[in-house]
Structure 1
Amino acid sequence: MENYSRYFKQGDLIAKYLKGELSDQEREELDAWIAQSDHNQALFARLTQKSAVAGELEKFGSSDKAEAWQRIIAETEYNATNRQSYIGIRLVPYVAAAVVLLIVGVLRYPFNRQSQPTNPVAQQPIDFAPGSNKAVLTLADASKIILDDVADGQIARQADVIITKTADGQLLYGESSATASAKLSNTQPSYNTITTPRGGKFRIVLPDGSRVWLNAASSLKYPTKFMGNERVVTLTGEAYFEIIPQKNAHKQALPFRVRSASQVVEVLGTHFNINSYADESSIKTTLLEGKVRVIKTSPHQAENSTEVILNPGEQAQLTADAKRRLNLIRKVDLEETIAWKNGQFQFKDTDLPTIMRQISRWYDVKVDFQGKLPDTKFRGKISRDVPLSQIFQILQLSGINFIIEGKKITVKS
């Protein structure tokens, strides 16, 4: 099967042009592509005209093209005299999907007119809503609180710790007033676990003020109060951490440790992301700010590294195979790594199985593959707030089809 990544690359450059985000090097690359042929010049002109975008909106259920275009103007500050206005990144969800589909689809179409999907998702009667703020909090006594059902405000109290849910989907831990006795404050900490289902996410502010964004199908176990000379939490799935530096009574830094599968991540104060889903080929720890140490807790071979130190922009990958190799990747795309935390799907030369695993977790569907998997690599960005059918329409442009049976999605090339 043809590799369509070059079309997604040009679509990415045009999208950046429309948003005014091209670097000098990218502008030179785009100019060179435009100059290659009359077709490219005409295509570029089309993709910077409002009529092309407005026409594409009809495929996404817009019954009033003029009204839809006014929404684009309101969302993006687009105007006819400024082609570098914002299109795509700040659009309402269905408009964003239309623009992505237009750029990628029109780029590809002249090169392969025969590869049209035979089973359009748009005709399917079933669709799947995106995920939302959903989680279950398990308290120290094993009782459970469904966070998406409980009212905002104080939801529980454990000893001298008050747990509060905010309206914007956060869980906060704080100490109660002076009613807590010294005896209570010196007891062993109790532990809570917050668990997001498939199709869920949640944010939590830990007792030390550190913030955690929890992705779908994930869990975090933590004490209701950090005590002693370290702060330790346990993660399954994926989470983004912003850790607050702390010191003990002796002015010594209190390390923060995240245990996940066969590794421990040790930090003092930093921002990082851990992806430790069991169905991925490796555990990925990516550093955005500060410095962290990633420690392999179950080394199998002496020649393999047992720990690595990460600097900003680097990633540690602990393979999921029997050898459990710990590898250091010197440069990774940070925007792509935390796109989920910022409400986006973002792919850069990403294969179809990887994309479908993310879709499966976020839309709470089961995914099977039928036939030989295509070797197509995908590039692009789209909001995680759109219905699943809109993402399928984009993927179908590469000749990939989908059969929907209940909550089961079968992928066919």
Structure 2
Amino acid sequence: MDVDNLPEHELPGLLRAAALTAKEKLHQLTDAEKDELQHWLEQKTQHQEWYDSLRSGDGLSRLNTDYSKFTAAAQPALADFHRQHFPQPTPSRTTKILRASWIRYAAAVFLLLAVAWYFMPRQQPKLAQQPPKPIQQQILPGQEGAILTLADGSTIELDSVGNGVVAQQSGADLSVSNGQLRYKANGKSSAEETFNTLTTPKGRQYKIILPDGSAAWLNAASSIRFPTQFTQNARRVAISGEVYFEVAAMKKAGETLPFIVNADNRFEVEVLGTHFNINAYADEPVLNTTLLQGKVAVTAQRPEGRQKVVLKPGEQAAMALRGGEAGKMTVRPGDPGKVLAWKNGVFDFDDVGIEEVMRQLKRWYDIDVKYAAGVPKIEFVGKMTRDIPLEGLLIALEKSNVHFRLEGRTLIVLP
């Protein structure tokens, strides 16, 4: 594409073609849009050359780079576009890409979509006068939020509550501050334990400070059940899904109380003071406990008896859920960066198969996934922030020659 000599009057048409090309890559072009793109291609031979360039691997990204000075002039319009279409604040993150420039590619497409949206109604009024077509609902990324179930069964949706005390439970005041739930002793201790449960639906994650000062981060589609005050000789909590813990030391009568996590009734993790991550999603083929600091003992109950392994920092206990080795734990090196990518706002798809990628997308974007012709045998390479709409992420994934179609909130993986 000879962008240096591009006539100014061609720019709106080219930007519109770029937007349509992006939708074409996602198999989302309407019949009217297909006709519009075909009409543009037939206007000039050069349009076909530009289209071929846009369809190339990095054509959209290069167009965005070449026209950075032009798009800078459209910043007020772009800001207004994002206020209307991206109501949630999006933190700015820089993520190292290994062998795929995913973020740059996705960002280029969305910038081009925004610029085309801004300029086309003024440049082509006839198109603007056409009846509006149904628009595919944009699927935004997950955000902070959770549901708290109190001891009496009542619930509080933490997505919508403001900062301050939201409830009182036996022995604790419950307060929310900047998207974080904290339990603080109020001096009204009781010998009887009462329990609360914090649950993150799909598309949500949340942080909680437990009554002993320990911190827990819940990934999407996860839960933690815990007492409102720790009065027994061991601190026991139960989880499902994926939770990262930073456990605080707590003593009683001069003795440090152990902290014990029951993971979906499949195994237990016992610690004295440490940082670790448990992935116990029921739909994963392997459940993992990864230790970052300290020391933990992981115990699983098997038909032939209990199996206990002790982890050192950097090690991972992996328990298979299927096959002849189901229920057996093995110890292997862990990858803290990959394990904690979700907590740090990143998808780490390096050497990850498509089924694992789709399981992560299902939880974070709250979608269903179907395979049109079986599961493709392909592994992805690279990292990407979790704060972009699903459509942008799919454009990046399509660079691995996997194609998708969105139907409502169902993502169909095409052959």
Q: TM-score, normalised by structure 1?
A: 0.70
Counterpart residue number, 1:5: none
SS in 1 for 2:229: coil
Counterpart residue number, 1:343: 345
Deviations 1:250-293 (A, max 9, x none): x2221000001210000000000001011000211000111100
Deviations 1:194-245 (A, max 9, x none): 0000000100000000000000001100000011210000000001000011
Distance 1:309-1:53 versus aligned 2 partners, 3 A rule: farther
Q: How many Å apart are 1:160 and its aligned residue?
A: 3.2
2:106–2:393 contact (8 Å) kept in structure 1: no
Counterpart residue number, 1:133: 144
Q: How many Å apart are 1:320 and its aligned residue?
A: 1.3
Distance 1:329-1:390 versus aligned 2 partners, 3 A rule: farther
Q: How many Å apart are 1:89 and its aligned residue?
A: 2.4
Give unmatched runs, 5+ long, in structure 2: 1-57, 76-92, 109-133
The residue identity in structure 2 corresponding to 1:175 is: A
Distance 2:170 2:270 in 1: 29
Counterpart residue number, 2:406: 404
Matched, 1:222 2:226: yes
The residue identity in structure 1 corresponding to 2:368 is: K
Q: Aligned residues, how many?
A: 312
The residue identity in structure 1 corresponding to 2:245 is: F
SS in 2 for 1:402: strand
The residue identity in structure 2 corresponding to 1:357 is: R
1:96–1:383 contact (8 Å) kept in structure 2: no
1:54–1:68 contact (8 Å) kept in structure 2: no
SS in 1 for 2:359: helix
Moved over 6 A (4+): 51-54
Alignment of 1:385-404 (within 5 A): 385-404=387-406
Distance 1:57-1:209 versus aligned 2 partners, 3 A rule: farther
Counterpart residue number, 1:97: 103
The residue identity in structure 1 corresponding to 2:244 is: Y
1:192–1:223 contact (8 Å) kept in structure 2: yes
SS in 2 for 1:266: strand
User: Pick from 230, 255, 260: which aligns with 1:257?
Assistant: 260
Deviations 1:326-378 (A, max 9, x none): 33333121100000000110122100010000000000000011113222111
2:195–2:227 contact (8 Å) kept in structure 1: yes
Q: How many Å apart are 1:128 and its aligned residue?
A: 0.7
2:61–2:105 contact (8 Å) kept in structure 1: no
Distance 1:410-1:63 versus aligned 2 partners, 3 A rule: farther
User: Pick from 163, 171, 175: which aligns with 2:185?
Assistant: 175
1:202–1:214 contact (8 Å) kept in structure 2: yes
Distance 1:306-1:63 versus aligned 2 partners, 3 A rule: farther
User: Pick from 189, 194, 198: which aligns with 2:202?
Assistant: 198
Counterpart residue number, 2:177: 166
The residue identity in structure 1 corresponding to 2:261 is: V
User: Pick from 225, 234, 241: which aligns with 2:238?
Assistant: 234
The residue identity in structure 2 corresponding to 1:161 is: A
User: Pick from 275, 282, 305: which aligns with 1:278?
Assistant: 282
Distance 1:124-1:57 versus aligned 2 partners, 3 A rule: farther
Counterpart residue number, 2:62: 55
User: Pick from 271, 292, 295: which aligns with 1:291?
Assistant: 295
The residue identity in structure 1 corresponding to 2:167 is: A
Counterpart residue number, 2:54: none
Quick check: which has more Rg, 1 or 2? 2
SS in 2 for 1:373: coil
The residue identity in structure 1 corresponding to 2:196 is: N
Q: TM-score, normalised by structure 2?
A: 0.69
Q: How many Å apart are 1:101 and its aligned residue?
A: 8.4
2:170–2:229 contact (8 Å) kept in structure 1: no
Counterpart residue number, 2:364: 362
Distance 1:245 1:53 in 2: 53
1:53–1:98 contact (8 Å) kept in structure 2: no
